[in-house]
Chains A and B, each alone.
Chain A
Amino acid sequence: MDFAATTEGTRQGIERRSEHENLETDSISRQVRETTAAIDSADLVVGILGGVDHDGFTGICDGLRTLAGSPRVAVLQAEAATGQPISGAGTDGGPSLFFMSWPNADTAGAATVSIAAAYHSVFMAAEQLQTRACCVFSSQIEGTKPAWIGQFAQGLLENEADLVLAHYARHKFEGLLNVSIISPLMRSLYGKRIQNPMGPDLGTSQRLFRPVLTAEEKNGGGGVHALATLAPSAVCGNLRVREMYCGPRVYRPTDWTNVSSLLSAVLTPVFLEMERNAACWQRVRGSAPVPVAGERAWVSQDSEKLDVQRMVESFQLGNRELQEIWSLVLPPTTLLELRKLLRLTPEEFHMNDALWARIVYDFALAHRLRSISRDHLIRSMTPLYLGWAASYAREVQDAGPLDVEQRNERLAAAYESAKPYLLSRWRWPDRFSP
């Protein structure tokens, strides 16, 4: 250890810390301050949340040790990731890793609201330690090589990107919420083709996490969701966004009794962000791909025959019983098209991409106008989402990887084609209201 460098680092850390004392207002702030007091500063903060198991944690640490130069890396670990906390460690030569047990990172099985709080706490630690960049790893990625982790963080440290997102090798039936709504919506609105705009595995530079943190604190955390705001903030702020190919992600099993809660927790911040950035996305036309690094991996798309009957039944039940609520959100033409779908059997069930895109836009607009309670609004969208999922699952049942890519591309194109419809309704809601 170089004592002179440590002393200088201590002095600089104290000076920087005093400038930011006014940022600490809540219990997370207090916890961040107490836990990061162990080290003075760092070049990179890496948060490893509860979704990562012990092997994944080891792989990430090995990857961080491949970073070029001698960066100081603060690793915030959930206790679940390692079984027990490891405190204070450094290596001679190369990157110095400092491990800190991070209770806010233990999100295994937690609701998405607490996941947002975990990201917020990691960003706060990065701000406290005045780091140049911050990475968060939240999911178990199969076949993750240390070099991938190194590349992921290196781009941020070398100021080559402001937001790095993982581009997973994905099975056709995985990440349906992202495939159906989040990714094509973000693409259509902000003009960037990002596979997973909401991560969850991502890296940001100081230029991005600092304003996001400030916005969260300014709003008192109300409605500003770390994951939902990163990609839009990066694009609207003309920051550099990049993706990295990585292996398949391990997804949690579906809880069919809780799909509406999941929709509510995920779509509410997305729609709020849409409202917040209206001035930005209304000027965007078309879309462009973002640079992608790494080597693309593919997963086998084979799967057993999927029974879509239950999802079709959910859609039909919603179509019969929720017309009164949907009529407050959707125009008559859309309602008519939905009623036509009632006559289709599960074997021939198909929801048009243009119809689905317009439905999502209508719900986003209704969310802004508060036509009904926002929670009721998003939850009433559940049968429509299950209907889309059934239609999609039926179409891609026997499709290969390239066919699935093309299918998703068609959906994204439908969102872009329907953007003028969104713009008209957004700007003149009274004229086009149902």
Chain B
Amino acid sequence: MWLQIKLALEQSTTRFLTHFAGLLPGLVAFLLAIIVSIVIAIVLAFLVRRLLKSLQFEEHLSQWGLSSMAEWSPMNRPTLLVSRSIALLVIVIGFVIGIAAFDAQWTAALAQTVLAYIPNIIGATLVLLVGAIVARFLGRSVLIGAVNMNLQYARLLSVGVKWMVIVLAVAMALDHLRIAQGIVELAFGILFGGIVLCLSLAVGLGSKDIVTKSLERDARRSSSEVYEDPLRHL
């Protein structure tokens, strides 16, 4: 019996070592691909940083109204964000090449999945970009309009509008990326529905007196200003 156990162990060890020996070249190739891609990524990131710096990329970004990109960037430098993104992309490509060394079938399947997903990534990026721009524009419009209407909670309104648009854009982007679609839809619905319900209850119940007084004050002001205020602008 011990002989049979010994034989089984020897066979499994042989199978494992044989299989491992078969994988070893692929593993070495994988590690080599990762190392080479890291080196290329570092060099490319350095070149991209130099290029963007010479093109005054960060200054142009603030002129284009995208200075908030600096807030998302490491060390508040969009140049670093771009260069590191490119470096990450190169490393991912190296990873994919490394995977191909194990089994061509795996690579084909992976490549197919990745390529099919790229339009979603592009679409989601565009949605986020447009959402950020629209959020900024609307937030600013609401802020200026509310200040000109003498509303003390102007900034709160502006921030609220901005974040609502951003949340909408993020939900749309996640939906586009097909990430936890059901959860995102449900969470978004609950969030927005909850916000609208809260506002309705606040205005209808909690702030009824404030709104009434505010409207009365505005009505008194608009009727008295037309006839009594001597100031004429134009």
Contacts and interface: CB of A to CB of B under 8 A. Distances in A.
A389 interface: yes
A173 B143 contact: no
B233 A259 contact: yes
B234 A178 contact: yes
A382 B229 contact: no
A43 to B, nearest CB: 32
B147 A383 contact: yes
A322 B143 CA distance: 8
Contact of A254 (B143, B147, B155, B225): B225
A262 B149 contact: no
B70 to A, nearest CB: 14
Contact of B233 (A177, A318, A376): A177
A176 B143 contact: no
B233 A262 contact: yes
Interface in B136-187: 137, 140-141, 143-145, 147-150, 152, 154-155
Contacts of B140: 325, 372-373, 376
A383 B137 contact: no
Contacts of A257: 149, 222
Nearest to B152: A317
Contacts of A171: 230, 232
A174 interface: yes
Contacts of A382: 147-148
Contacts of A304: 230
Residue of B152, B155, B226, B234 with most chain A CB atoms under a 10 A cut-off: B234
B5 interface: no
B65 interface: yes
B221 interface: yes
B233 A383 contact: no
Contacts of B143: 321-322, 325
Given A259-B233, A262-B234, A253 B147 contact: no
A346 B137 CA distance: 33
A382 B149 CA distance: 10
Of listed B143, B148, B229, residue having the most chain A CB within 10 A: B148
Nearest to A177: B233
Contacts of B147: 314, 317-318, 321-322, 380, 382-383
A17 interface: no
A175 interface: yes
Contact of B234 (A177, A303, A376): A177
A91 to B, nearest CB: 36
Contacts of B221: 256
Given A322-B143, A322-B144, A175 B232 contact: yes
Contacts of A317: 147, 150, 152, 154
A266 interface: yes
Given A177-B234, A376-B144, A379-B145, A254 B154 contact: no
Contacts of A262: 233-234
Contacts of A173: 230-232
- How would you classify the secondary structure of chain B's contact residues: helix, strand, loop or mixed? helix
Contacts of B145: 260, 379
A372 B227 CA distance: 36
B137 A373 contact: yes
Interface string A353-381: 00000000000000000001100100110
Interface in A66-98: none
Contacts of B152: 317
B169 to A, nearest CB: 20
A218 interface: no
Interface string B193-230: 00000000000000000000000000001100111011
A306 B230 CA distance: 8
A389 B140 CA distance: 25
Contacts of A174: 232
Nearest to B140: A376
Interface in A163-194: 171, 173-178
B141 A376 contact: yes
Contacts of B141: 376
A389 B231 contact: yes
Contacts of B226: 253-255
Contact of A314 (B150, B227, B233): B150
Contact of B229 (A177, A254, A260, A380): A254
B127 to A, nearest CB: 22
A383 B145 CA distance: 11
A251 interface: yes
A313 B154 CA distance: 14
11 contacts: A173-B232, A176-B231, A178-B234, A251-B234, A253-B227, A254-B229, A254-B231, A256-B222, A260-B144, A321-B143, A376-B140
Interface of B: 65, 137, 140-141, 143-145, 147-150, 152, 154-155, 221-222, 225-227, 229-234
Interface of A: 171, 173-178, 251-257, 259-260, 262, 266, 303-304, 306, 310, 313-314, 317-318, 321-322, 325, 372-373, 376, 379-380, 382-383, 389, 393
Given A254-B229, A254-B231, 5 more contacts: A176-B232, A253-B225, A254-B226, A254-B233, A317-B152
Q: Which 8 A-B pairs have the closest CB atoms?
A: A251-B232, A174-B232, A253-B226, A260-B148, A173-B230, A177-B233, A382-B148, A379-B144
